[in-house]
Amino acid sequence: MLRLLLLLPTRTYRTEAFLEAARALGVEVVVASERANALAAERPDELLALDFLDPAAAAREAAEFARTHPLDAVVPVDDDTTVAAAAISAALGLPHNSVASAAAARDKHLMRALLARAGVPVPRYTLASLDEDPGAVAASVGYPCVVKPLFLSASRGVIRADDPEALWVAVTRLRAILEDPEVAERGGEAARHYLVEAFVPGQEVALEGLLLKGELQVLALFDKPDPLEGPFFEETIYVTPSRLPAGVQAELAAATARAAEALGLREGPVHAELRWNEAGPWVIEIAARSIGGLCSRTLRFGTGLALEELILRHALGMEIPSLEREARAAGVMMLPIPRRGTLREIRGQEAALAVPGVEEIAITAHPGQELVPLPEGAAYLGFLFARAETTEEVEAALRKAHRRLDFVIA
């Protein structure tokens, strides 16, 4: 039986989907998290603790484990585990992205530098230290600009500034995020720096893809119909298929393929954020992982294959029956946190579910939880999912259902 090492951070949303996919494939699973699971002592052959912040150490420990428990694939499920997965795969001689390419996709400055060098269109940018005068740093970029941490996800710490005063406020907020002890530990030296980049106007999309020996297969292109103009960049609705013209979609796919090549990514899932305007496509980011949160529930391939099963099949060298997404339109709304406070109650779920096209409401926040909105927060209240014949119908269903939900926050 094939044995798979899944790197699952303790706080990831992706556990259920990946474990279900592994079960469907009938493969043996070893789960590694950054902290020991409560049952780790009872199940040492199946539950590991690996330091994802130290990929070399994680690789040594995993290689030692693999001497008695041979592994056929290592799959990272989100950003925090991609570099460790590459290091472990290299130590075990398994096909995977190189450590350098995974690290480049995790470091937004290095990513920008490699993309720019390869001629991939990216915003003007500069690297800044928290110790520098932001105004002086931003002079080379101009206004409006965006400050962005080098390593965080979900738009956390990403803030637009239209003038020097707004920039000073933005950097002050970003500094507080980066100096949070947990964030500082995760980021290390990267938590002392940030990017300042030009704000690129235009429509934003997300491309979900799979790299097969360096060739990009586009799995889905999502429109993000809510304008992302700042000052914060809260992601809400993703709908697919995209309504952009076929020629534009092809250019966005080509830009993503060039970005992956520029970083040296060759295998496995990629999730890219791009913008489109009169100048053409702009690569905002590309990550060596699949779509985050619970959003993968929008995607089904062939006769109902989940995205996670497709990823595991690829990693394990198993046949992939289809890379074709289902014909129906699908979408997700990441339920934004409207304001800081304590979540007391969620009302209107039945009414929201009654909206035609809405398939599921997954509430992931819990009563009593302290809610922290962007740019400081990184979690959502939950996720709404819809399917319909057209992208327009999906978007309308998500908006209508969201209006029926009432989050009581004290």
For another protein, the binding residues (CB under 8 A) are 8, 10-13, 15-16, 19, 23, 29, 31, 33, 35, 37-39, 41-43, 46-47, 78-80, 152-154, 156, 292-293, 346, 363-369, 378-380, 382
- Residues 179, 257: Cα–Cα separation, whole Å: 35
Q: Which letter, b or e, does each residue of 44-72 get, where b requires 16 or more Cβ atoms within 10 Å of its Cβ?
A: eeebbbbebeebeebbebbbebbeeeebb
- Least separation in angstroms between residue 195's CB and another protein is 16
Cβ partners under 8 Å of residue 350, min gap 6: none
- Least separation in angstroms between residue 151's CB and another protein is 9
Q: Nearer Cβ to another protein, position 177 or 218?
A: 177
Gyration radius from the chain CA atoms? 21
Q: Nearer Cβ to another protein, position 106 or 112?
A: 106
Q: Nearer Cβ to another protein, position 384 or 388?
A: 384
- Least separation in angstroms between residue 336's CB and another protein is 12
- Residues 183, 80: Cα–Cα separation, whole Å: 12
- Least separation in angstroms between residue 19's CB and another protein is 5
Residue 294 DSSP code: T
- Least separation in angstroms between residue 256's CB and another protein is 20
Angle, CA of 190, 193 and 198, to the nearest 5°: 120
Q: Which among 144, 333, 325 is positioned nearest to 225, based on CA atoms?
A: 333
Q: Nearer Cβ to another protein, position 320 or 363?
A: 363
Q: Nearer Cβ to another protein, position 7 or 262?
A: 7
Tokens 């992939």 map to which residue? 320
- Least separation in angstroms between residue 324's CB and another protein is 28
Q: Nearer Cβ to another protein, position 12 or 391?
A: 12
Q: Nearer Cβ to another protein, position 42 or 278?
A: 42
- Least separation in angstroms between residue 93's CB and another protein is 26
Residue 315, phi then psi, degrees to nearest 5: -65, -35
- Least separation in angstroms between residue 364's CB and another protein is 6
Q: Nearer Cβ to another protein, position 276 or 383?
A: 383
CB 104 within 8 A of CB 253: no
CB 316 within 8 A of CB 25: yes
Helix, strand or coil for residue 304? Answer: coil
CA distances from 57 to 52, 308, 371 (A): 8, 27, 35
CA distances from 262 to 86, 135, 339 (A): 17, 31, 39
